[in-house]
Chains A and B, each alone.
Chain A
Amino acid sequence: MPDIFDASKDKVRNFVKKKLPPIEAVDEYSEIMRRETPSKNPFDAYAPKPLMVYSFDSQLDGESVLLLLRQHPVTQFSKILTLIVLLVMPAFFPYASFYDGLSRNFQIAINLFWYLIAMGYAFESFLTWFYNVYIVTNERIIDIDFLSLIYRNIAAAKIDKIEDITAITSGVAQSLFNYGTVQIQTAAERTEFEFEFVPHPTRVTQFLNEMLEEEEREKIEGRVK
């Protein structure tokens, strides 16, 4: 006699399966995320399923961070070089003609102030790098920009508004260290998002495509919020 109703069948199991939290559910539909281990390091430039990011501004209920991106550390090379020059410069002060004419206290003052400026430069550069992030959640893509100490720009678009995704890797450094720019065209208010100089641009593109497919699947199955 053929089975009319078999509860052990996969279809039924899928139908009644428990709803997983978004950060675990991503493994169900994303091949990329299944291969990645959750990131625990707060300084990671490529942080899949980040455990060290607790929340972000404008986070919605039930929204989880699935991927956090920053510019590849190699892009900070020029700033590190500038810092090294700033730190080494005081060693050459005694060779300046005016330096010997100054009293000991003035010499100390110049050195102190110089190192303070170097520290401020390093700290400000680090802050700008650390907080300039690109976030992919289970609902949206978010671009948080701090271009200077007084300029902040946060832009977001829903995943289903994404129309086109392109990964661009150009130049020797980008090929060597595997980083590049991911361009995302959207039908949202801001039509173009650029994840600049992020590690593994191809992987990011693949993941966004998987997210897009899942979003379409949700629409078809009527699971859209």
Chain B
Amino acid sequence: MPVDLTELFFSFLKVLFEIAGVLYLIFSVVVIRQIHIMQKSLVTSFSKQLKLIGFIHIGLAILVLLFFIVSL
């Protein structure tokens, strides 16, 4: 049975995107952990907002990963 090379390439590309998305999600979780450590080192009036931005960052990373899984 002949293998469609184009289809194989796009399947491979999809897997690459998904791996990249997972790695980025891990990075965004590490960032949240780091914000937590940083906030313990220095408590400022901007600490809460930073944590919020960190969670928005994780949210976006999840959405992008879902897009990779569902749409590609």
Closest to B27 in A: A120
Q: A53-B44, A54-B43, A149-B34 are in contact. Are A112 and B61 (CB under 8 A)?
A: no
B residues 29-72 touching A (CB-CB < 8 Å): 30-31, 34-35, 37-38, 40-46, 50, 53-54, 57, 60-61, 64, 67-68, 71-72
How many of B's residues come within 8 Å of A, CB to CB? 32
Number of inter-chain CB pairs below 8 Å = 82
Whether a CB of chain B sits under 8 angstroms from the CB of A106 is yes
Assess the B41–A119 pair: CB atoms within 8 A: no
Chain B 16-31 interface 0/1 with A at a Cβ cutoff of 8 Å (1 = within):
0100110010011011
- B53 is contacted by which of A53, A112, A123 (Cβ under 8 Å)? A123
Contacts of B50 in A (CB 8 A): 127, 130
Q: A105-B72, A116-B61, A127-B50 are in contact. Are A54 and B24 (CB under 8 A)?
A: no
Assess the A149–B17 pair: CB atoms within 8 A: no
Whether a CB of chain B sits under 8 angstroms from the CB of A56 is yes
Contacts of B64 in A (CB 8 A): 112-113, 116
Q: List 27 A-B contacts (CB under 8 A).
A: A53-B43, A53-B44, A54-B43, A56-B41, A56-B42, A57-B40, A108-B67, A112-B64, A113-B64, A116-B60, A119-B60, A120-B24, A120-B31, A120-B57, A123-B31, A123-B57, A127-B31, A127-B35, A130-B46, A130-B50, A131-B42, A133-B42, A144-B41, A146-B38, A149-B31, A152-B37, A152-B41
